[in-house]
Amino acid sequence: MSVSAAAISEEQKEQFDRDGFLIVRQLFSSEEVAEIRDAFMQMNSNGPVPGLSDTRDYAPDDPLAFYPRMMHPHRHPDLPVGPLARRYLLDPRVGDILRALMGEEPVAVQSMFYFKPPGARGQDLHQDNYYLRVKPGTCMAAWLAVDDADPENGGMVVVPGSNRLEVACPERADPEKFFTTEHVPVPPGMQEVPVYLRAGDMLFFNGSVIHGSYPNASRERFRRAFICHYVPISSQETSHWYRPMLTFDGEIVEIPEATGGGPCGTPAIDKGPH
Angle between helix 92-102 and helix 10-19 axes, rounded to 10 deg: 70
Average the pLDDT over 35-56 and give the result.
96
Confidence class for position 2, pLDDT limits 50, 70, 90: very low
DSSP 238: B
Condensed to tens digits (0 to 9), the pLDDT of residues 66-82 reads 999 999 999 999 999 99
Domains of the chain with bracketed CATH = 3-253 (2.60.120.620)
pLDDT at 1: 36
Confidence class for position 266, pLDDT limits 50, 70, 90: low
pLDDT at 169: 96
pTM of the model: 0.95
Condensed to tens digits (0 to 9), the pLDDT of residues 109-168 reads 999 999 999 999 999 999 999 999 999 999 999 999 999 999 999 999 999 999 999 999
Does pLDDT of 262 surpass 70? yes
CA atoms within 13 A on the CB side of 250: 8
Condensed to tens digits (0 to 9), the pLDDT of residues 192-222 reads 999 999 999 999 999 999 999 999 999 999 9
Give the integer Cα–Cα distance in Å for 72 and 112.
6
Share the mean pLDDT of the chain.
Answer: 94
Does pLDDT of 62 surpass 90? yes
Contact 21, 141 (CB under 8 A): no
Cα Rg of the chain (Å, integer): 17
